A = this chain, B = another copy of it.
Amino acid sequence: MSDRRSGQGYSGESLLFLTDEQLRQGIEAMFFAYRGFTAVPDRILADMAYGRAHHRAIHFINRAPGTTVNNLLAILGVTKQSLNRVLRTLISDGFVESRVGTVDKRERHLFLTEEGRSLEAKLSDAQRTRMRLAYKEAGPEAVSGFKKVLEAMMDPDMRRAYGKLRDSGS
């Protein structure tokens, strides 16, 4: 299977000849890179009986303070029961505060406590450092391509969520 071309290769005029082999390299790159990407925070969290799920919750609460549980659910893509377990431990450990909504009392609005913000900083510092080094090594052109491909790889729903978060950035 030396020069197998990828079926629908003739992408209009943009001349993208993609062999299965090239695509597979991309798949494996995603796998290995994602592991590297989560390795440092994972290690920090493991020491406090937390996991990746806690990290994700903390990240997005920090990103959008006052967000509701339902909001968070949609972004994280898990069941509310699953998220709830994580939130419960974060709240009882004093990293997250849950305030009953004033206009709609069914809703809970989530905030990081001082302690929560400090944990968030520790985790995201580690991850940003890794990201910064990768960017530096790959160069500016590569970075823009990186983001383009990732964005194209998302599910449409998540792409919308990502866009909203991105544009709301400080």
- Copies of this chain present: 2
CB pair A154 B32 closer than 8 Å: yes
Question: A114-162: which have CB < 8 Å to B?
Answer: 124, 127-128, 130-155, 158-159, 161-162
Contact yes or no, A132 B37, CB < 8 A? no
Q: Quote the shortest CB–CB distance from A104 to chain B (angstroms).
A: 27
Using known A-B contacts A143-B145, A152-B138, determine if residue A6 contacts B170 with beta carbons closer than 8 Å.
no
A48 near B: Cβ within 8 Å? no
Which residues of A does B touch, CB under 8 Å?
1-2, 4, 6-11, 14-16, 18-21, 23-37, 39, 56, 59, 63, 77, 124, 127-128, 130-155, 158-159, 161-162, 165-166, 169-170
